[in-house]
Structure 1
Amino acid sequence: MAVTYEELTTKHPCFARGEHSSNGRIHLPVSPTCNIECRFCERSINSYENRPGVAATVIRPEEAAKAVEKALELCPEIKVAGIAGPGDTLASNCALRTFGLIKEKFPQLVKCMSTNGLLLAEKAQEVIDAGVDSLTVTVNAVDPEIEAKLNAGISWHGKHYEGVEAAKILIEQQIKGIKLVSDAGMTVKVNTVLVPGINVDHIGEIARTVAEAGASIYNIIPLIPQHQLKDCPPPTCEEIEGAIRAAQEYIDVFRHCHRCRADAVGIPGGKDFGDEVYMQRLSAKDTFSHG
C-alpha cells in the first residue's frame, strides 16, 4: 500500500510541516549517468560541496543495502531511503534495482526517488513495482522556449536532441509521467530551479500545470550560479517570495529545502554521517558530464 501524503508529513523530512524534523534520511549515490544537459548543473565527485548533484563516490545497488544497514546503526532516526543522483535515477537501472533490495530488506523505510522525468512515463510501472513511496520530478519550465534556455539537450532512445525540440520532448514526458504515477497513488513533489531572467515569472504556470497533472507539493530551489549559468545571479529574496506566492495559488509549497548532497546521511541540518557510511569521501574535484 502506498504511503499517503499525510503519512509522509510525519516520516519524510522534505514533507515535514514546519522547519524542523527529527527524522533522518540516507541518500544512496547509485545513479552514475544523466540523460539531459541542464545549463546550471555541474555534477561532481567530491567531498566538500554541499549541493545536489554531488557525491563522494558512486556505489553499486548491493553496496547500497549495506550502507543503509550501517546508517541505521549510526542514526536510528533515519526513516527515508532516497536516491537523488549524482546522475538521473532512471538513466540507468541502478536506482530501481536498489529500491528492490531496500523494499525486501528494510520494508519499514520510506523509499523516495528524484528524477528529471525524461523516462518517467515509460518507466512508471517499474517505479511503482519497485515500491517507491514518494517521487520528486524536477520541472523547470512548461514552455519549451523557456526550457531550452535552461537545458541544452537530451539523449532519448539513442538520439540526441537540442533546443526547443529537446524541451518539447522533456516537458511532454515529465507531465505524462507525473500523471501516471500520481494516478497510481504515489505522492509527487515537483522541484523547480528558480533562475532570474529566465523562469522567475513562469512559476505560476509551472505550479498550475504540475498540480493539474497530480503533483501534491512544490519546491522552489534558488539557482546556484555554475556551469553555463555561472554568470547568472542567484534570485533575490523578493524574487523567491514572489515565486512562492505565485505557486501557492495552485499547490502546497515546501519552504525548508536544505539542497542536500546525493550522499547525505542523517537528519537534515544536523550531523552528517556520510563519512562513516561511505568511507570514501574524496578531496579532489572531478566533474563528469551528464552522459
Structure 2
Amino acid sequence: MTMPVDPCAAQTMRLEATKPAFPALEGRHPCFSTTAVGHARSARLHLPVSPGCNIDCAFCIRDFNRRDQRPGVATRLLSPDQAVEITERALELCPTINVIGIAGPGDPLATPHALQTFEKVHARWPELVLCLSTNGLMLPERIEEIAAVGVTTLTVTVNSVDPQIQAQITPKIAWQRRRLDGIAAAERLIANQLDGIAKAAALGLTIKINTVLIPTVNDDHIGTLAQRVAEAGAQMINIIPLIPQHGFAHLPAPGMMKRYVARADAEQHLRVFTHCQRCRADACGIPGVSDYTAQLYGDGISAEPTFSHG
C-alpha cells in the first residue's frame, strides 16, 4: 500500500539525498555512492564464481552471453584461484577499482566458492572493499563467515515481506535439502532475510536492499517492505524496474510514475539509491562509464551446465 507522504519529511529526505549516505564509501563503491559525482568515479569488479542458486524467482533467467546487461549473466564461471588472477589483471587495466563484488551468476551463498574467493582476495589486497550480493536465504547461518573473510558491504535482494506476495515472486526454494513451495517457501525466505539482515547489522556491515519493482505484484508494497528491512538494520534501498522475462514475461516494465511512487514510499524509511545500472555478474569498470569485461575475458563464451535450484 502506498504510504501518505509527510511534506516536511519529504523535504528533509530531499535535502539529505544531496549528502553522501556513507562518506567512507562515497567515490569508492558505486552501489553505495549516493551522489552522481561519487558514483561516476567508482570502479568495481564483479567475479562470477557462484554457479548455483537455491531459489527460483519468476523474474530471473541466468545465462552465459555477452549481449545482456543485467544480473545473472556472465561470459564464464571462475574458480576461486582464477578469480584471483582475474582480479590482478583487472587492477592493471583499471587501477581505480576499489571494490570486489560477487553477485552471481547464481547466489553466492548457495555454494562455497564466493567466500573462498573473498578470503583469497582479502589476503592479497586487504585495502579493497569486499561486497556480497545475496538472496538472503543462507544469510543467518553464513554471516559470521562472511564477516570473517573481510566482507564489509552487503546487498540483500528482498522483494516482499508478505508471504502471499513473495509466493508469486519466488514459488519454490531449496532449503536444508528439501524443496519448499508456495507460502511455505515464501515464509522461510522472508524470515531468513530479515534475520540475516539483523545479524549483519549487529556485526557492523553496511547493508543495502535490492528490490525488483513488479507491476501488479509488489508495486503497492514497497513502503511496508522498506519499513521492515529498515527495522531489521538495512540502511539503503535500490528499487530495480522489472525486466519482463521468464515467469513475468507477460507483465509490463514499470513506468516512470510507478518508479517515482515506489521510491517516494521507500524514502520514508531508507536512503534510496538511484544510479543502478543493473550490472552483469562479470562487470568490470565504472558503471555506465567504462567496461573492461571483454579485455578481461576475450571473445569466447564458456558456458558450463552447472546452474541448479538445488
Q: TM-score of the superposition, structure 2-length normalised?
A: 0.90
> What does 1:27-38 correspond to in 2, within 5 Å?
27-38=46-57
Per the alignment, do residues 280 and 112 of structure 1 end up closer, same or farther by CA in structure 2, a change over 3 Å counting?
A: farther
1:7 aligns with 2:36: no
3-state secondary structure, aligned to 2:98: strand
Contact map agreement 1:45 1:286 (CA 8 A) in 2: no
3-state secondary structure, aligned to 1:257: coil
CA deviation string 1:227-253 (max 9, x = no partner):
011111111110000000000000100
Runs of at least 4 residues off by over 3 Å:
283-291
| Matching residue's letter, 1:38 | C
Write the distance in 2 (CA, Å) between the matches of 1:114 and 1:220: 15
Per the alignment, do residues 143 and 21 of structure 1 end up closer, same or farther by CA in structure 2, a change over 3 Å counting?
A: same
TM-superposed CA distance for 1:23, in Å, is: 1.9
CA deviation string 1:173-210 (max 9, x = no partner):
00000000111100010000000000000000110000
Alignment partner, residue 126 of structure 1: 145
| Matching residue's letter, 1:189 | K
Write the distance in 1 (CA, Å) between the matches of 2:303 and 2:121: 31
Contact map agreement 1:203 1:246 (CA 8 A) in 2: yes
3-state secondary structure, aligned to 1:189: strand
Alignment partner, residue 233 of structure 1: 252
Per the alignment, do residues 281 and 25 of structure 1 end up closer, same or farther by CA in structure 2, a change over 3 Å counting?
A: farther
Alignment partner, residue 97 of structure 1: 116
TM-superposed CA distance for 1:278, in Å, is: 2.2
Q: Which runs of 5+ in 1 are unaligned?
A: none
3-state secondary structure, aligned to 1:9: coil
Query: Which of these residues, 159, 169, 172, is aligned with residue 153 of structure 1?
Result: 172
| Matching residue's letter, 2:149 | A
Identity between Structure 1 and Structure 2 (%): 49
3-state secondary structure, aligned to 1:80: strand
Per the alignment, do residues 289 and 224 of structure 1 end up closer, same or farther by CA in structure 2, a change over 3 Å counting?
A: farther
CA deviation string 1:151-179 (max 9, x = no partner):
11000110000001000000000000000
TM-superposed CA distance for 1:280, in Å, is: 5.5
Query: Which of these residues, 271, 274, 281, is aligned with residue 252 of structure 1?
Result: 271
Greater shift, 18-27 or 233-242, is seen at 18-27
TM-superposed CA distance for 1:32, in Å, is: 0.3
Write the distance in 1 (CA, Å) between the matches of 2:240 and 2:213: 6
| Matching residue's letter, 1:213 | A
Write the distance in 2 (CA, Å) between the matches of 1:163 and 1:178: 23
Alignment partner, residue 189 of structure 1: 208
TM-superposed CA distance for 1:15, in Å, is: 1.5
Aligned-residue RMSD, C-alpha: 1.7
Larger Rg: 2
Alignment partner, residue 262 of structure 1: 281
1:205 aligns with 2:224: yes
TM-superposed CA distance for 1:277, in Å, is: 1.3
Contact map agreement 1:84 1:115 (CA 8 A) in 2: yes
3-state secondary structure, aligned to 1:161: strand
3-state secondary structure, aligned to 1:133: strand
Q: Which runs of 5+ in 2 are unaligned?
A: 1-20
Alignment partner, residue 242 of structure 1: 261
Alignment partner, residue 16 of structure 1: 33
TM-superposed CA distance for 1:14, in Å, is: 1.1
Write the distance in 2 (CA, Å) between the matches of 1:283 and 1:127: 28
Write the distance in 2 (CA, Å) between the matches of 1:66 and 1:114: 21
Q: TM-score of the superposition, structure 1-length normalised?
A: 0.95
Alignment partner, residue 190 of structure 2: 171
Write the distance in 2 (CA, Å) between the matches of 1:134 and 1:218: 13
